[in-house]
């Protein structure tokens, strides 16, 4: 039995008719409108500062410590994590909270220490404004590496954007009681349009400035929900006691024979947690939307002091995101909190239990668990919506610039000498196109929001992570190694996902048979465990494509670099960039 005592609260009754009133929805829409108005003001203000393509892409490398730290944190976490994280904790145990430790120590601290200043200086030295541009200039390959990286980035950032819009719409649909899926479509279109207009006006300046306010809203909302939830259950002891009761009641049977396993690591489903932990941690290292936070930093001090701000922020928000599932399942509800959540998800889904019912944890906590007043829940909903928009903005910006600058201006149209002004126009048109595609895809959402998000992170990192880190620390990497190892690893990530991911295998090629699932594993082929330990066994589907693709990418990069003797950039060039990156001077 897990410690913290066994206090138990009086059980609350689940009320199926409980929903936001008209007054609550007015609170939400006023807050939301005020937030959008603020974004517009920031956009107009930023427009004055956006005079060149460097202003648009990296805010003229003028961002100080506070904004660097908060911007990193706000880009790290989006609605996908608010929706996906609590659900996973609820379903498969508190072990997911260990991901916070990984996010904090390696996803943030180590990223700032190992990559922060070197990435900033390398991008400055090479005059790079985007990740593909930096890779291409570092490995001296504008012909193939740059347009390929541009296309990979644009495709997988758009897929990530789909998962964000989907998560956002799952959150927002509780604001339209009784309207069913109509609310979902309205939310998707509304957020897409607003974000696109805002980005077209302001670019990077506005995206970073809005982080300051948005990150504060996210932090305040998460802390309040979690603290109110713990208080409502009578402290940690109450939470634990209620979880034991809920596991005993069912209807989920996964931990009924050994309820202690819900609180312990490892348990039977730990391999998928390890994979997800690794991709949310190291996936940030190679993600262009995160790296460009370092591009925009003013100096080394911005990175160093930004690091402590980012670490504190990530600790609070990541912990609250995973812990929210613990808090949700630990509420004292008559008949059990899991049954209540499933009933809630069924009602919202028009009468059928959705496959991803546990991803309704956060909406359930806000509207049904009765832990905070509904007007306050409406206020927080606007805050978490802000989180999605924050990350979405940067994804669109990165994807738009990858198409316009890397694929078109410097790639296929390199000989035509396209001007920066024209490239800026193409970037803005690309932004519109990406938002349109993402909104259309989000209207027919996949079964698992977090799965799709993590697939896009894994695929992006398959291409960029090893060449990026090797480019910062090793002089021996070659352009062919960067391109070929990236493409091989990307192929492995996609193949592994399509062949073994249990949510997709039923449908064959996921993006051809792109349709929502009502049951998680209908007719799923039986997978034989390939990893057996005393604690748990893992099937291929439990091993994340991020792990497999990196295991291929790392040796491939180094082996090809060793074979490709002629592809290395010249010695003087390499000495120059390494001297600049490692110089112990303040700019």
Please report, as residue ranges, which positions from 266 to 295 form the binding site for another protein (by CB under 8 A).
Answer: 266-267
28 with 378: CB under 8 angstroms?
A: yes
- Least distance in angstroms from the C-beta of 543 to another protein: 21
Stretch that binds another protein, among 80-88, 165-173, 262-270, 275-283 (CB under 8 A): 262-270
Residue 480: how many other CB atoms lie within 10 Å = 19
* Contact map string, positions 538 to 567, toward another protein, x by CB under 8 A: ------------------------------
- At a CB cut-off of 8 Å and minimum separation 6, what does 516 contact? 444, 445, 446, 447
Please report, as residue ranges, which positions from 224 to 243 form the binding site for another protein (by CB under 8 A).
Answer: 236
For residues 115 and 438, which CB has a smaller minimum distance to another protein in the complex?
Answer: 115
What is the DSSP track for 162-216? HHHHHHHHHHHGGGSTT-TTHHHHHHHHHHHHHHHHHHHHHTHHHHHHHHHHHHH
261 contributes a contact to another protein by CB under 8 A: yes
Stretch that binds another protein, among 30-38, 103-111, 142-150, 441-449 (CB under 8 A): 103-111
305 contributes a contact to another protein by CB under 8 A: yes
For residues 107 and 177, which CB has a smaller minimum distance to another protein in the complex?
Answer: 107
Contact with another protein (CB under 8 A): which of 175, 191, 196, 307? 307
297 contributes a contact to another protein by CB under 8 A: no
248 contributes a contact to another protein by CB under 8 A: no
158 with 437: CB under 8 angstroms?
A: yes
Contact with another protein (CB under 8 A): which of 17, 253, 417, 584? 584
532 forms beta bridges with 537
Give the DSSP letter of residue 14: P
What is the DSSP track for 460-513? HHHHHHHHHHHHHH-TT--HHHHHHHHHHHHHHHHHHHHHH-TTTGGGSSTTTS
H or E element, residue 125: helix 117-126
578 contributes a contact to another protein by CB under 8 A: no
For residues 257 and 417, which CB has a smaller minimum distance to another protein in the complex?
Answer: 257
Contact with another protein (CB under 8 A): which of 311, 389, 449, 452? 311
Question: Residue 148, CB half-sphere, CA atoms under 13 Å: how many?
Answer: 19
With H, G, I as helix, E, B as strand and everything else as coil, classify residue 531.
strand
Please report, as residue ranges, which positions from 348 to 367 form the binding site for another protein (by CB under 8 A).
Answer: none
What is the DSSP track for 305-319? HHHHHHHHHHHHHHH
Contact with another protein (CB under 8 A): which of 98, 144, 193, 429? 98
105 contributes a contact to another protein by CB under 8 A: yes
574 contributes a contact to another protein by CB under 8 A: no
Stretch that binds another protein, among 70-78, 261-269, 395-403, 432-440 (CB under 8 A): 261-269
d(CA 564, CA 561): 5
Distance of CA 492 to the CA centre of its chain: 21
Among candidate residues 76, 75, 78, 97, the one with its CA nearest the CA of residue 86: 97
Stretch that binds another protein, among 259-267, 349-357, 478-486, 565-573 (CB under 8 A): 259-267
3 contributes a contact to another protein by CB under 8 A: yes
Stretch that binds another protein, among 300-308, 336-344, 419-427, 563-571 (CB under 8 A): 300-308
The site for another protein (CB under 8 A) is made up of 2-3, 93-95, 97-98, 100-101, 104-106, 109-110, 113-114, 236, 257-258, 260-261, 263-267, 300, 304-305, 307-308, 311-312, 315, 319, 326, 534-535, 584, 586
């Amino acid at each position: 039995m897990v410690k913290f005592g066994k206090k138990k609260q009086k059980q609350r009754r689940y009320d199926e008719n409980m929903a936001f009133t008209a007054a609550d929805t007015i609170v939400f829409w006023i807050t939301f409108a005020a937030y959008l108005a603020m974004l517009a003001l920031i956009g107009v203000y930023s427009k004055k500062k956006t005079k060149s393509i460097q202003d648009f892409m990296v805010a003229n490398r003028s961002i100080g410590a506070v904004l660097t730290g908060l911007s990193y944190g706000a880009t790290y976490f989006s609605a996908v994590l608010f929706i996906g994280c609590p659900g996973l904790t609820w379903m498969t145990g508190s072990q997911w909270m260990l991901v916070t430790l990984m996010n904090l120590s390696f996803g943030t601290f180590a990223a700032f220490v190992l990559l922060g200043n070197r990435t900033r200086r390398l991008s400055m030295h090479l005059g790079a404004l985007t990740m593909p541009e930096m890779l291409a200039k570092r490995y001296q390959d504008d012909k193939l590496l740059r347009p390929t990286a541009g296309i990979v980035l644009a495709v997988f950032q758009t897929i990530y954007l789909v998962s964000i819009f989907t998560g956002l719409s799952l959150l927002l649909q509780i604001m339209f009681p009784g309207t069913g899926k109509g609310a979902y479509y309205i939310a998707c279109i509304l957020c897409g349009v607003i974000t696109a207009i805002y980005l077209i006006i302001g670019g990077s300046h506005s995206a970073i400035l809005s982080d300051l306010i948005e990150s504060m809203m996210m932090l305040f909302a998460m802390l309040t929900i979690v603290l109110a939830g713990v208080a409502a259950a009578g402290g940690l002891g109450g939470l634990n006691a209620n979880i034991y009761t809920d596991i005993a009641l069912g209807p989920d049977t996964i931990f009924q024979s050994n309820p202690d396993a819900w609180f312990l690591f490892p348990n039977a489903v730990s391999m998928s947690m390890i994979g997800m932990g690794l991709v949310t941690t190291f996936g940030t290292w190679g993600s262009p939307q995160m790296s460009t936070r370092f591009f925009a930093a003013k100096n080394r001090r911005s990175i160093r002091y930004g690091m402590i701000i980012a670490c504190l922020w990530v600790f609070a928000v990541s912990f609250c995101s995973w812990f929210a599932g613990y808090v949700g399942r630990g509420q004292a509800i008559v008949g059990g909190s899991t049954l209540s959540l499933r009933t809630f998800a069924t009602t919202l889904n028009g009468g059928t239990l959705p496959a991803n019912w546990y991803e309704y944890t956060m909406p359930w906590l806000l509207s049904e668990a009765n832990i905070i007043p509904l007007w306050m829940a409406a206020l927080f909903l606007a805050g978490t919506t802000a989180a999605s928009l924050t990350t979405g903005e940067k994804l669109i910006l990165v994807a738009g610039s990858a198409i316009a600058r890397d694929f078109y201006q410097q790639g296929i149209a390199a000989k035509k000498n396209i001007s920066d002004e024209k490239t800026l126009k193409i970037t803005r048109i690309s932004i519109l196109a990406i938002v349109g595609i993402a909104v259309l895809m989000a209207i027919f959402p996949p079964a698992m929001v977090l799965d799709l998000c993590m697939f896009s992170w894994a695929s992006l990192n398959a291409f960029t992570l090893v060449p990026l880190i090797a480019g910062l620390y090793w002089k021996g990497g070659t352009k062919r190694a960067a391109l070929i190892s990236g493409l091989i690893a990307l192929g492995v990530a996609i193949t592994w996902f399509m062949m073994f991911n249990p949510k997709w295998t039923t449908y064959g090629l996921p993006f051809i048979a792109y349709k929502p699932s009502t049951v998680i594993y209908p007719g799923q082929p039986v997978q034989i465990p390939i990893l057996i330990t005393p604690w748990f066994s893992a099937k291929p589907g439990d091993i994340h494509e991020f792990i497999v693709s990196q295991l291929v990418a790392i040796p491939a990069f180094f082996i090809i670099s060793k074979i490709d003797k002629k592809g290395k950039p010249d010695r003087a060039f390499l000495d120059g960039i390494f001297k600049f990156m490692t110089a112990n001077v303040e700019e």
